[in-house]
Structure 1
């Protein structure tokens, strides 16, 4: 029997402006037996000072500082320290709204074999809290397998490898030796392993997670060549994991197809929204791995058979979106003057 129902693991690095709102949201929303493990990744600002000032004496909170190694190693350290039956990874600049622990406890009483607890999420703009958009959008509710949940998210286009979009049973993580390890794109293999290995999952109808979109973060900053190569490398390792884990059932074959198409599009759009050319190794991968996919419409055919032409069409579309957004922001600034 675990000491806690839920261990919340929060890796922190230079987030002095945001971390208090994050931890306060957890303390204000969660109930029952839970712990919050904050792993300070050797922050160089006042993050640690804020944590020590407000949470040193809070019994549910544990603070540990580690040598700087990135969010992945910080999360792995949190897993090693966790004493909860389930693990939930929360980013330090985001907010939890709603009692995850209450629903999780209710689900486990009715469905004790549950290994994965999923929920939807939203994004909000740092400068305008009212500017809210959906992020992870579940359409499959209740009991299912992890791979069925993965398939549903891939189909509706809202799958993300971010580790904050679920709570997972700690014994599953330990049994399958799931780790984050890397500094960038560290969650791809971990999250994919969570979905592939979960025999029984529960999908909540609630939106529990609110992701802060802030200027200057990795999500919104201009990215260099190394970022894209590491993203591609994470995709290739994840694809190998999928191929070696899944069987030849109809569901498995469908998920393989959906994952490839989702990943191809995502790597293209990451480059286009960054204003940089799509790397040749991505286009080559689309040609090579896409050979096993039978396109069902013209857009898929164009992506798989002529990715350069597909990119040019999407480049025009992205250019219009970026220009429209720029004009809207410019108008908003004018009105505020």
Structure 2
């Protein structure tokens, strides 16, 4: 076993207003030989200077600078340098609560077969830490098969492909050659693969990850048609991986259906909140792929059999939410 339990990899690009708060929160629980790897992705603001001034002297912090290639490439660079048994990918404007490293260490000592360490998360408004809402919501805790954790998150609607919602065993990543290859939607394939290719997960009851919601971030900005096409392509690639990985699993049909229903709803919501029409290729996929499965309730029947009506009903809901938020 490596003496380094955890490598935390932080891709950073022009986050001078947030990076110190992020890293300082991690340093409360990260001592050497555990490590924080900050990958400066060609920042053009004061990010690199801040990082070097505050952390270059610390033995548990590594700073790597690359030319700008996106968060995926930065994470891949961090993975190549990481020495820990587990990898955890933290975004540079978010906050990790105390206790994550201590619980991971306890779990791994008691259950060395653990490949995924999962936990709950919240979102908070920029400059308003007290304004929060749930993000990833686990419903069962402790040692579980990874596929069951994945299935439950899909069914309760809180699954996210974001790479920060788990710590993953590095040997699993190496065994399957997992990488964040694309510049946009780079985590879809990686995260889905981590869940369906691993066997043993541990789910904490704690809320360890706090995701900042800020204006101007990629997550919170207006999306182009190219963005939606790339998002759809990432979904199709991930779905293909899912089908191959689950071909001998008794949960194959259940998880395939849950992934499709979750992904279809998410793609619809993304379009509606963006104020744009749901692309016709998404509607065609709903009819073709969703039509393979028996609807479990009226919502699923509407989604699969009457997607335009389903979208119209959701549009009313989204419109009300946007008015309340205005």
Q: TM > 0.5 between the two? A: yes
Partner of 1:314: 314
Deviation, structure 1 residue 219: 1.2
The residue correspondences of 1:132-151 to structure 2 (distance < 5 A) are: 132-151=132-151
Partner of 2:103: 103
Is the Cα–Cα contact under 8 Å of residues 30 and 99 in structure 1 kept in the other structure? no
Deviation, structure 1 residue 249: 3.8
| Counterpart check, 1:8 vs 2:12 | no
The residue correspondences of 1:151-166 to structure 2 (distance < 5 A) are: 151-166=151-166
Matches of 2:296 and 2:183 in 1, distance apart?
37
Q: Which runs of 5+ in 2 are unaligned?
A: none
Deviation, structure 1 residue 65: 0.3
Q: 1:254 to 1:239 in 2, by over 3 A?
A: same
Matches of 2:58 and 2:99 in 1, distance apart?
19
Partner of 1:329: none
Matches of 1:170 and 1:100 in 2, distance apart?
17
Deviation, structure 1 residue 30: 3.3
| Counterpart check, 1:80 vs 2:80 | yes
Normalised by the length of structure 2, the TM-score is 0.98
Partner of 1:38: 38
Is the Cα–Cα contact under 8 Å of residues 38 and 63 in structure 2 kept in the other structure? yes
Is the Cα–Cα contact under 8 Å of residues 123 and 135 in structure 2 kept in the other structure? yes
The residue correspondences of 1:200-239 to structure 2 (distance < 5 A) are: 200-239=200-239
In terms of mean alpha carbon deviation, does 146-155 or 249-258 score higher? 249-258
3-state SS of the aligned residue for 1:139?
Answer: coil
Q: Which runs of 5+ in 1 are unaligned?
A: 327-337
Deviation, structure 1 residue 108: 1.3
Partner of 1:169: 169
| Counterpart check, 1:263 vs 2:263 | yes
The residue correspondences of 1:121-140 to structure 2 (distance < 5 A) are: 121-140=121-140
Count of residues in Structure 1 that have an aligned counterpart in Structure 2: 326
Is the Cα–Cα contact under 8 Å of residues 232 and 282 in structure 1 kept in the other structure? yes
Matches of 1:6 and 1:194 in 2, distance apart?
17
Q: 1:249 to 1:173 in 2, by over 3 A?
A: closer
Matches of 2:148 and 2:33 in 1, distance apart?
30
Is the Cα–Cα contact under 8 Å of residues 30 and 100 in structure 1 kept in the other structure? no
Is the Cα–Cα contact under 8 Å of residues 20 and 50 in structure 1 kept in the other structure? yes
Alpha-carbon RMSD across the aligned residues, in angstroms, is 1.0
Deviation, structure 1 residue 286: 0.5
Partner of 1:53: 53
Matches of 2:48 and 2:185 in 1, distance apart?
25
The one-character-per-residue Cα deviations of 1:253-299 (angstroms, maximum 9, x if unpaired) are 11111000000000000000111100011001111101111001111
The one-character-per-residue Cα deviations of 1:9-66 (angstroms, maximum 9, x if unpaired) are 0000000000000000000133564100000000011100100110110111000001
Matches of 2:31 and 2:118 in 1, distance apart?
18
In terms of mean alpha carbon deviation, does 96-105 or 48-57 score higher? 96-105
Deviation, structure 1 residue 245: 1.0
Is the Cα–Cα contact under 8 Å of residues 122 and 136 in structure 2 kept in the other structure? yes
Partner of 2:66: 66
The residue correspondences of 1:257-296 to structure 2 (distance < 5 A) are: 257-296=257-296
Matches of 1:108 and 1:56 in 2, distance apart?
29
Is the Cα–Cα contact under 8 Å of residues 31 and 99 in structure 1 kept in the other structure? no
In terms of mean alpha carbon deviation, does 119-128 or 4-13 score higher? 119-128
Matches of 1:274 and 1:33 in 2, distance apart?
44
The one-character-per-residue Cα deviations of 1:110-139 (angstroms, maximum 9, x if unpaired) are 111111100101111003111011110111
